[in-house]
Structure 1
Amino acid sequence: MRCLRAGILALFVIVPLLTGQAAAQPPALPFPGLPVIPLPADASGAILPGIQQWIDQVIPPPPIAPAPQPAPTDQTNDSAPGPAALRQAVLPAPVGDPIFDAWPADLADFAPGAVLEVRDITASAAPLVVVPIREALLFKYRTTDAHDRPSYATATLVIPATPSPVPGARPVLVNNLPIDALGRRCTPSYTLAHGFSSESAITDFVPPTTHLAALRGYAVLIPDHEGPLMAYAEPYVAGHAVLDAVRAVRGRLANEFGASRFAMAGYSGGAIATHGAVKLIESYAPELAPSLAGAALGGVPADFEILARSMNGNLASAVFMAAVFGIARERPEILARMNHLAQWVTTSPMKDQCVSIFALPGVLQLPIDIAANIADPLHSTLAREIYEVTRMAGVASATPLYIYNGEQEFWIPAEGARNLYREQCSLGVTAVYRSVLGEHIIAAGLGYPEAMIWLDERLRGIPAENEC
Structure 2
Amino acid sequence: MRCLRVTLFALVLVCPMAMGEAAAEPPPAIPGLPQLPIPTDPGSILPDLQQWIDSVIPPPPIAAAPHPSGPMMEATTLTPGLAALRAAALPTPIGDPIFDAWPENLESFTAGEVVEVRDVSATAAPLVLVPIRQALLLKYRTTDSRGAASYATATLIIPATAWSGPGTRPVVVNNLPIDALGRDCTPGYTFAHGWSRNTSITDFLPPTTQLAALRGYAVLIPDHEGPWMAYAEPYVAGHAVLDAIRAVRGLRSDEFGDSRFGMTGYSGGAIATHGAVKLIDSYAPELAGSIVGAALGGVPADYEILARSMNANLASGVFIAATFGVGRERPEILASMNNLAQWAATSPLKDLCGSVFGAVGVLMLPIDIAANIPDPLHSEVASEIYTATRMAGMKSATPLYIYNGEQEFWIPAEGARNLYQEQCGLGVPAVYRSVLGEHIIAGGLGYPEAMSWLDQRLQGVPAPDEC
Per the alignment, residue 15 of structure 1 pairs with 12
Structure 1, unaligned runs of 5 or more: 76-81
Per the alignment, residue 386 of structure 1 pairs with 385
Alpha-carbon offset, residue 53 of structure 1: 1.8
Deviation per residue, 1:1-58 (Å, 9 max, x gap): xxx213212223201111337588664435xxx6424515144378433321221111
Per the alignment, residue 415 of structure 1 pairs with 414
Cα 1:419–1:174, aligned 2, differ >3 Å: closer, same or farther? same
Given the alignment of the two structures, is residue 92 of structure 1 paired with residue 62 of structure 2, yes or no?
Answer: no
Alpha-carbon offset, residue 74 of structure 1: 4.0
Aligned positions of 1:159-238 closer than 5 A: 159-238=158-237
Cα 1:94–1:433, aligned 2, differ >3 Å: closer, same or farther? same
Cα 1:340–1:24, aligned 2, differ >3 Å: closer, same or farther? farther
Per the alignment, residue 78 of structure 1 pairs with none
The DSSP-based 3-state class of the residue aligned with 1:305 is: helix
Aligned positions of 1:292-311 closer than 5 A: 292-311=291-310
Alpha-carbon offset, residue 168 of structure 1: 1.9
Per the alignment, residue 107 of structure 1 pairs with 106
Q: Which amino acid letter does the alignment assign opposite residue 162 of structure 1?
A: T
Contact kept in structure 1, 2:38 and 2:45, CA below 8 Å: no
Per the alignment, residue 368 of structure 1 pairs with 367
The DSSP-based 3-state class of the residue aligned with 1:318 is: helix
Contact kept in structure 2, 1:25 and 1:37, CA below 8 Å: no
Deviation per residue, 1:119-167 (Å, 9 max, x gap): 0000000000000000000000000000000000000000000122412
CA distance in 2, matches of 1:278, 1:112: 17
Stretch moving more, 210-219 or 34-43 = 34-43
Cα 1:38–1:23, aligned 2, differ >3 Å: closer, same or farther? farther
Per the alignment, residue 2 of structure 2 pairs with 5
Contact kept in structure 2, 1:62 and 1:344, CA below 8 Å: yes
The DSSP-based 3-state class of the residue aligned with 2:307 is: helix
The DSSP-based 3-state class of the residue aligned with 1:117 is: strand
The DSSP-based 3-state class of the residue aligned with 1:180 is: coil
Cα 1:17–1:267, aligned 2, differ >3 Å: closer, same or farther? same
Q: Which amino acid letter does the alignment assign opposite residue 244 of structure 1?
A: D
Per the alignment, residue 79 of structure 1 pairs with none
The DSSP-based 3-state class of the residue aligned with 2:333 is: helix
Cα 1:9–1:453, aligned 2, differ >3 Å: closer, same or farther? same
Per the alignment, residue 289 of structure 1 pairs with 288
Given the alignment of the two structures, is residue 68 of structure 1 paired with residue 71 of structure 2, yes or no?
Answer: no
RMSD, aligned α-carbons: 1.6
Per the alignment, residue 311 of structure 2 pairs with 312
The DSSP-based 3-state class of the residue aligned with 2:224 is: coil
Choose which of 30, 48, 51 in structure 1 pairs with 2:49.
Answer: 51
Per the alignment, residue 29 of structure 1 pairs with 30
Q: Which amino acid letter does the alignment assign opposite residue 52 of structure 1?
A: Q
Q: Which amino acid letter does the alignment assign opposite residue 15 of structure 1?
A: V
Cα 1:466–1:52, aligned 2, differ >3 Å: closer, same or farther? same
Alpha-carbon offset, residue 285 of structure 1: 0.1
Alpha-carbon offset, residue 250 of structure 1: 0.2
Q: Which amino acid letter does the alignment assign opposite residue 57 of structure 1?
A: S
Given the alignment of the two structures, is residue 274 of structure 1 paired with residue 305 of structure 2, yes or no?
Answer: no
Aligned positions of 1:391-406 closer than 5 A: 391-406=390-405
Aligned positions of 1:420-439 closer than 5 A: 420-439=419-438
